[in-house]
Amino acid sequence: MGEVPEQKTKKSTKPVQKEPKPTDIVVPNNKFWSSDELLSLMAFLISLGTFAVFAYQTYLIRKQQYASVMPYLALRVMEERNGNQVATAQLILKNDGVGPAFIQDIRIFYQDSAYTQDPAAFYRSFIPSDSTSVSTQTIDIGNVVPAGQNISLINAPSEYTASVLDSISKSATLMITYTSVYDEAWQISSSNPTPQRSP
């Protein structure tokens, strides 16, 4: 019998995977927060929430206090007419708010000029001095207008004086700046009777 030729075994080219050594194994860190750390976190969050509630309540209380003493000045020209003719007229400053108004500034703008005099004296200067029926009330910086009070700055009870006051009140702009007891400042004018926040 002939000899069977010897078969050669091919060596594998795949890399041999080595068994990892104990020192090569990375153990994930599965450590959770301790109970003390969780309690500390919860205490911090509760304190933060309590502070937020307290701050908001303080804000609401302060806002309520401000609203409870808020003044609201208004300028009005009250007229009575006889047909198309103005029969009587008066310029009224009224505090429709719930707190006193402290007058800080008074300005009158007329024909490109600004005046800081008493409004009653300004309007009265356009009416002849012999018109004795005209009555006025002065107002100045530093005066206080209590809540609910009306101040008739000038009252013109005749047709002539009323027509003069009506004409001047339409061409002149009276501007008053006032504050509340908390020093919040507003400004009103005869051209814009709604109070505006003053810087």
CA dihedral 168, 169, 171, 175 (to 10 degrees): 130
The verdict on residue 156 lying in a domain is yes
Q: What percent of the chain stands above pLDDT 70? A: 80
Q: How far apart are the C-alpha atoms of 42 and 52, rounded to whole Å? A: 15
pLDDT at 149: 93
pLDDT in tens, 31-52: 566 777 788 888 888 888 888 8
| Same-domain check for residues 79 and 166 | yes
pLDDT in tens, 92-145: 999 999 999 999 999 999 998 999 989 989 998 888 877 778 889 999 999 999
What's the structural domain count of the chain?
A: 2
| Same-domain check for residues 59 and 79 | no
Does residue 187 register a pLDDT over 90?
A: yes
Which structure tokens are listed for 61? 């209380």
Q: What percent of the chain stands above pLDDT 90? A: 35
Q: Last residue of a domain, which of 43, 68, 93?
A: 68
| 12-17-23 Cα angle (round to 5) | 160
Kindly give, in sequence order, each residue whose CB lies less than 8 Å from that of residue 94, ignoring residues fewer than 6 positions away.
73, 74, 76, 149, 150, 151
Which structure tokens are listed for 81? 């007419």
The verdict on residue 151 lying in a domain is yes
| Same-domain check for residues 39 and 113 | no
State the average pLDDT for the chain: 82
| Same-domain check for residues 124 and 57 | no
Give the pLDDT band of residue 3 (cuts 50, 70, 90). Answer: low
| Same-domain check for residues 51 and 89 | no
Question: What value does the CA radius of gyration of the chain take, rounded to a whole number of Å?
Answer: 42
CA distances from 178 to 44, 187, 192 (A): 45, 6, 15
CATH of the domain at 149: 2.60.40
Residue given tokens 């800081």 in the structure block: 116
| Same-domain check for residues 77 and 169 | yes
Q: How far apart are the C-alpha atoms of 151 and 118, rounded to whole Å? A: 13
pLDDT in tens, 53-87: 877 777 776 767 767 789 999 998 888 888 777 88
